[in-house]
């Protein structure tokens, strides 16, 4: 016992005669049957649990609870997983529906654009045809007027030549008769 310094240091604190107090009793441990562990510390407030090594406890997750069967946690987790799976399936269905709606809308817009392009091309073609037709009609009218004026000019020139010819014939006829020589 001389090797152990704890009993000599605590001589004034320990009361070996007060073995009857229950809360200050230090129970002998199963590891050792040393006399120092069975002594009582007088009004020190220490208990035997303070000197014993704490038992290792199982780690608990935040969801596990004391007193509930493990199968309940499994059931809850299973339900949660099935709910999450259902939510994911609904989200997938919603996404597929949206993507199919987008594909339909895209096809509709492409058809609408194609139809508008065709209508535009038809409108441009009809306008070009109308403009060409109007230009052809105008050209025909101008050409007809030009031909008519040229014809009228030729007729006027022919009439003038005929009249000049008649005037010259009359002058000749009158000249032979002597009536036209009044100027002499």
pLDDT tens sequence for the chain (184 residues): 455 555 555 555 555 555 444 444 455 445 444 444 445 555 556 666 666 666 666 655 555 555 555 556 788 888 899 999 999 999 999 999 999 999 999 999 999 999 999 999 999 999 999 999 999 999 999 999 999 999 999 999 999 999 999 999 988 888 777 665 555 4
Query: Helix, strand or coil for residue 41?
Result: strand
Say how far apart CA 69 and CA 117 lie, in whole Å: 71
pLDDT at position 48: 64
Q: Please state, in angstroms and as integers, the Cα–Cα distance from residue 95 to each residue in 83, 101, 136, 172, following that order.
A: 18, 10, 60, 112
Q: Which pLDDT score is estimated for 4?
A: 56
CA distance 52 to 57: 15
Long-range own/partner contacts, residues 166-175 (CB < 8 A, 24 or more apart): none
> How many residues does this entry show for the chain?
184
User: Using an 8 Å Cβ cutoff, are 41 and 13 in contact?
Assistant: yes
Which pTM value belongs to this model?
0.37
Backbone Cα Rg of the chain = 66
């Amino acid at each position: 016992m001389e090797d152990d310094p704890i009993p000599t240091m605590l001589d004034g604190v320990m009361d070996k005669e007060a073995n009857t107090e229950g809360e200050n009793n230090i129970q002998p441990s199963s590891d050792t049957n040393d006399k120092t562990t069975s002594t009582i510390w007088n009004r020190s407030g220490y208990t035997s649990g303070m000197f014993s090594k704490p038992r290792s406890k199982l780690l608990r997750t935040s969801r596990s609870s004391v007193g509930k069967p493990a199968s309940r946690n499994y059931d809850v987790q299973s339900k949660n997983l099935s709910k999450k799976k259902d939510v994911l399936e609904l989200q997938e269905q919603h996404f597929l529906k949206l993507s199919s709606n987008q594909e339909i809308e895209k096809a509709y817009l492409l058809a609408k654009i194609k139809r508008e392009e065709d209508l535009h091309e038809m409108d441009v073609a009809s306008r070009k045809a109308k403009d060409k037709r109007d230009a052809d009609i105008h050209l025909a009218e101008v050409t007809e007027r030009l031909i008519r004026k040229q014809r009228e000019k030729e007729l006027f020139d022919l009439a003038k030549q005929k009249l000049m010819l008649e005037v010259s014939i009359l002058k000749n006829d009158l000249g032979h008769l002597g009536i036209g020589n009044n100027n002499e």
